[in-house]
Amino acid sequence: MAFFMTVITKEFFLEKVGTSSHFVQDNHSRSIKDVLRALHYQIEKSQGKLVRVVVGSVFDVAVNLRKISATFGQWVRVCLSAQNKDQLWIPPGFAYGFVVLSEYAEFLYKTTEYYAPQHDHTILWNDPN
């Protein structure tokens, strides 16, 4: 099957998300079935992420950690797959995690800040809070 896809344009992002984020880094990762990545975030140098799956499928979760937000503590979930070609925007100030549903999955994601491991934090997937 052949296809061509425009992944993102500045105008579309501005219209749908309401901001014109500047991406500084593109990442590609691969994980195997049932890998569960804890909710991760950076307090300093918080990253916005535009995530999509190009092989396989995953169950994604994003949690709003912005204390000044009216939706603080609320979360969203979505299934991303190579088949549906959906994308998820995770704004700065959100924790993000996933579990791989297929035999393996490959992600492509853009970030608005460079990864800074010294500022990385995680929340256990089943944290009651």
**CA 65, 66, 71 angle in degrees (round to 5)?**
85
Annotated active-site residue 40? The verdict is yes
The residue from 40, 104, 115, 121 that is catalytic is 40
Q: Which of 28, 41, 96, 109 is flagged as catalytic?
A: 109
Q: Which residues are catalytic?
A: 40, 109
